[in-house]
């Protein structure tokens, strides 16, 4: 694992003391956009940008802001810095690595997966039959992405609890007090995850099937096949990148439907073509993600002098509420023109490879849910503050009860 001084601790930049404040960081984002749009955190020596144009430039301009970095807000186990890691590298090298994975996420591949994903969605929704109140996080938002990604990789989806357990630990954010404990847990989880995947990769090399792991065992980088270790690390990278993020998106969609705009449910029921607009608006409105880079050369592109080697955080969740891009940005509005210009999937060379998959999962899950249930409601007495956990993608919910109204 990387050493403590290499982590960027977002919570300590935000100085929001409660989980509830972390769950709704939007007032702090606004304050920073208005008063401190280019802010240097002297304690951690990190630059921070909050405006849409700045965030976009940090994500696009790899010559000024590089992904080859020693520090990060996402814990990067040393082993992940392998030849097959698509994220910790800049163009032109990045293009070759990305090409290895991008085949798996073409529209054609997604079309082929659609029926498999619909089956998983149908099974999860069938389990809600006759249940008066369902915990949507436990029953849909967690199991859907992990089952889908396990299935697509070619890892037995019956092991989804194990996989979810390891990836949760690997993507836990660090904090100063529990640093050593968290680091130890990550080391143990990483070892167990690698030991679990290794024999599966060996088996795929011998007997390739129709899945991403088998494709990776055949893929070549600079004329050489990936090693078993590199395939294992790619799998861990994909499981990590695709799991928790999509769980957070699904949970947040339900939270928005229940609490941000409760009348939206009936609107969706009368017109299912609105579902993708809902998904995009949630990604804009309620997805407090951030990404970091290393300042690659001295620059004053945003005004203050930044020095080569310093870290910079692009606050995507703040950019997505920038009034200059999204008028009435603090209002949840699925009909907002251009809401898909949000930066929740990043921008530029590292734009999320799994975005089409995440969108497809969310659209299918919500459309199937809305078709099946006549209405849904908030559970009385639900206190969001008691069900928040820290995650890399900002705060996420551990539980969200939804009262179901069954039709017919």
Positions that interact with ligand HEM (CB under 6 A): 59, 67, 86-87, 98, 101, 149, 238, 241-242, 245-246, 249, 289, 291, 344-346, 350, 352-354, 357-358
Nearer to ligand HEM, 135 or 280 (CB): 280
Whether 256 and 217 have beta carbons less than 8 Å apart is answered as no
Nearer to ligand HEM, 16 or 100 (CB): 100
- The count of residues in the chain is 408
Nearer to ligand HEM, 361 or 404 (CB): 361
User: What is the SS3 assignment for 274?
Assistant: helix
Q: Which residues contact 171 (CB under 8 A, 6 or more apart)?
A: 74, 75, 240, 244, 391, 392
Q: Which residues contact 229 (CB under 8 A, 6 or more apart)?
A: 79, 82
CA dist., res. 127 & res. 147, Å (int): 15
Nearer to ligand HEM, 271 or 351 (CB): 351
H-assigned helices in 103-142: 107-126, 136
Nearer to ligand HEM, 49 or 404 (CB): 49
Q: Could you tell me the smallest distance in angstroms from the CB atom of residue 406 to ligand HEM?
A: 29
CA dist., res. 230 & res. 236, Å (int): 10
- Half-sphere exposure at residue 368, Cβ-oriented, CA atoms within 13 angstroms: 20
Q: Are strands 220-221 and 224-225 parallel, antiparallel or unpaired?
A: antiparallel
Q: How far is CA 251 from CA 38, 312, 352, 406, in A?
A: 31, 29, 19, 20
Q: Which residue is nearest to ligand HEM (CB)?
A: 354
CA dist., res. 169 & res. 188, Å (int): 9
Q: Could you tell me the smallest distance in angstroms from the CB atom of residue 361 to ligand HEM?
A: 7
Would you give the end-to-end CA distance of the chain in angstroms? 54
Nearer to ligand HEM, 7 or 353 (CB): 353
Q: Could you tell me the smallest distance in angstroms from the CB atom of residue 133 to ligand HEM?
A: 26
Nearer to ligand HEM, 117 or 376 (CB): 117
Q: Could you tell me the smallest distance in angstroms from the CB atom of residue 150 to ligand HEM?
A: 11
Q: Could you tell me the smallest distance in angstroms from the CB atom of residue 77 to ligand HEM?
A: 16
Nearer to ligand HEM, 238 or 329 (CB): 238
Nearer to ligand HEM, 151 or 404 (CB): 151
Q: Could you tell me the smallest distance in angstroms from the CB atom of residue 291 to ligand HEM?
A: 4
Q: How far is CA 15 from CA 166, 171, 202, 214, 288, in A?
A: 28, 21, 46, 45, 15
Q: How far is CA 79 from CA 72, 76, 232, in A?
A: 15, 8, 10
Q: Could you tell me the smallest distance in angstroms from the CB atom of residue 35 to ligand HEM?
A: 25
Q: Could you tell me the smallest distance in angstroms from the CB atom of residue 315 to ligand HEM?
A: 12
Q: Could you tell me the smallest distance in angstroms from the CB atom of residue 380 to ligand HEM?
A: 30
Whether 212 and 169 have beta carbons less than 8 Å apart is answered as no
SS3 content of the chain, % helix, strand, coil (to 5): 55, 10, 35
Nearer to ligand HEM, 219 or 404 (CB): 219
Whether 314 and 55 have beta carbons less than 8 Å apart is answered as yes
């Amino acid at each position: 694992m990387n050493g403590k001084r290499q982590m960027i601790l977002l919570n300590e930049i935000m100085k929001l003391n409660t989980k509830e404040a972390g769950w709704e960081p939007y007032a702090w984002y606004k304050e920073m956009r208005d008063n401190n749009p280019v802010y240097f955190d002297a304690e951690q020596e990190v630059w921070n940008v909050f405006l849409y144009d700045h965030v976009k430039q940090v994500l696009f301009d790899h010559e000024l802001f590089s992904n080859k970095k020693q520090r990060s807000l996402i814990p990067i186990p040393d082993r992940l810095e392998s030849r097959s890691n698509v994220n910790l590298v800049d163009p032109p090298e990045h293009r070759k690595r990305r090409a290895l994975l991008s085949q798996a996420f073409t529209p054609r591949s997604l079309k082929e997966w659609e029926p498999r994903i619909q089956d998983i969605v149908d099974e999860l929704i069938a389990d809600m039959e006759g249940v008066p109140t369902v915990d949507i996080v436990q029953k849909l938002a967690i199991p859907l992405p992990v089952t889908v990604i396990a299935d697509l990789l070619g890892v037995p989806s019956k092991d989804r609890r194990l996989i979810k357990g390891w990836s949760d630990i690997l993507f836990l954010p660090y904090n100063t007090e529990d640093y050593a404990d968290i680091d130890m847990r990550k080391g143990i989880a990483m070892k167990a995850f690698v030991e679990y995947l290794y024999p599966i990769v060996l088996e795929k090399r011998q007997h390739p099937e129709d899945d991403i792991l088998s494709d990776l065992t055949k893929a070549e980088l600079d004329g050489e096949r990936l090693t078993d270790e590199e395939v294992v690390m790619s799998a861990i990278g994909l499981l990590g990148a695709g799991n928790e993020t999509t769980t957070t998106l699904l949970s947040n969609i339900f939270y928005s439907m229940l609490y941000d705009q409760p009348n939206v449910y009936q609107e969706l029921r009368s017109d299912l073509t609105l579902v993708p607009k809902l998904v995009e608006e949630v990604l804009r409105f309620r997805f407090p993600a951030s990404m970091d880079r290393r300042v690659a050369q001295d620059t004053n592109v945003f005004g203050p002098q930044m020095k080569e080697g310093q870290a910079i955080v692009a606050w995507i969740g703040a950019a997505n509420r920038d009034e200059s891009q999204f008028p009435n940005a603090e209002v949840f509005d699925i009909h907002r023109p251009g809401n898909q210009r949000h930066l929740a999937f990043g921008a530029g060379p590292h734009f999320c490879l799994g975005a089409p998959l995440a969108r497809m999962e969310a659209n299918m899950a919500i459309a199937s849910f809305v078709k099946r249930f006549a209405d849904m409601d908030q559970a009385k007495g639900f206190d969001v503050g008691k069900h928040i956990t820290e995650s890399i993608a900002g705060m996420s919910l551990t539980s969200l009860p939804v009262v179901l109204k069954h039709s017919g």
